[in-house]
Chains A and B, each alone.
Chain A
Amino acid sequence: MLYGVELSSRLLLGTARYPSPAVLERAIKASGAQIVTVSLRREGGASRAGQSFWSFVQSLGLRVLPNTAGCHSVQEAVTTAHMARELFDTKWIKLEVIGDADTLQPDVFGLVEAAGILTQDGFEVFPYTTEDLVVADRLLEAGCRVLMPWGAPIGSARGLNNVYGLRSLRAHFPDIPLIVDAGLGVPSHAAAAMELGYDAVLLNTAVAEAGDPVAMARAFALAVEAGRTAFLAQPLEPRDMAQPSTPVIGKAALERFSN
């Protein structure tokens, strides 16, 4: 449930970097995603790329989550969010305020400020944040009802960099939808996030730049479902010592005949 919208898919898929629109469309179908992320960029008088992408998005019939990718300041992100709301006709915004060009780490101070402004302006904000608990608290105070902590830097394919931090975030905010956004590389990363009790994952590059994006989209969908099912099935806690899975009682007494 994201801002009152009930969804059956727990995978949100980005639309960038696919080999072709046809592959993108098939990958979206294979992923089962009901929400796709989109963006906006400058368009010249002669270019029609934006217009054809808009027709494509409409033909999908899915919910879109526009982002403020590439914004480095609060003002830039707020203006971009307003432009996105008008273009895509949605109150939803994936809010990115980037603080570092190399790691694309969120500027959490700018993020909190922009989230507050946009919430006041009637937006429903999906903040791309870190796993920091205090920042999460501030984002909720600013009006966010969903949090999207990173797994690892965008496009890095490193998986969950700070499992402890993500688990801690989950435990602190049991009732807030939490989505791991960014840094996933392979389906087992997505399964791991879901096993921690995360509500969903958002990914793009791991599917788009795979050798076979359509097959990888399907693999991620299966992993998300496996991870969610495992979480609900209450997994074991790791332990230090072995514990025989086969009962020892009633074992045949054969040791005396050794040698």
Chain B
Amino acid sequence: MRIFLNDDAHEIDPGTLAKALEALGFGGRKIATAVNGRFVAAAARPATPLADGDRIEVVAPMQGG
């Protein structure tokens, strides 16, 4: 199925957010996530199923004012 991660389209096997992040190279990294504009806590990723067309946001710490 097709999902969007930070606006880029990816073809992935159906599964959870945790599996998708692992497959896309984010395993073990300091990131925070949202699906379709809603925050998904790290602890909830293994229990968050993804659907075709879902929009995932992945963010990391950055400099700020």
Contact = CB atoms under 8 A, between A and B. Distances in A.
A204 B64 CA distance: 8
A251 interface: no
Contact of A43 (B31, B63, B65): B31
A50 B30 contact: yes
B37 A14 contact: no
B64 A67 contact: yes
A93 to B, nearest CB: 12
B64 A16 contact: yes
B62 A41 contact: yes
A51 interface: yes
B64 A45 contact: no
Contacts of B32: 40, 82-84, 86-87
Nearest to B33: A83
Contacts of B26: 45
Contacts, number: 107
A200 to B, nearest CB: 15
A87 B63 contact: no
A16 B32 CA distance: 20
Interface string B49-65: 00000000111111111
B65 A49 contact: no
B32 to A, nearest CB: 4
B39 A37 contact: no
A36 B30 CA distance: 19
Interface in B16-62: 24-26, 29-34, 37-39, 41-42, 57-62
A15 B64 CA distance: 5
A87 B39 contact: no
A78 to B, nearest CB: 8
Contacts of A46: 25
A75 interface: yes
Given A53-B63, A79-B38, A42 B30 contact: no
A44 B63 contact: no
A38 interface: yes
B65 A14 contact: yes
Interface in A56-114: 57, 66-67, 69, 75-76, 79, 82-84, 86-88
A3 interface: no
Interface centre among B8, B25, B32, B38 (most CB of A within 10 A): B32
A154 interface: yes
Given A46-B25, A87-B60, 18 more contacts: A14-B64, A17-B65, A37-B65, A39-B64, A39-B65, A40-B61, A42-B6, A44-B6, A44-B8, A50-B31, A51-B30, A53-B62, A66-B64, A69-B64, A79-B34, A84-B32, A87-B32, A87-B61
Interface of A: 14-18, 24, 37-46, 49-51, 53-54, 57, 66-67, 69, 75-76, 79, 82-84, 86-88, 154-155, 182, 204-205
Interface of B: 6, 8, 24-26, 29-34, 37-39, 41-42, 57-65
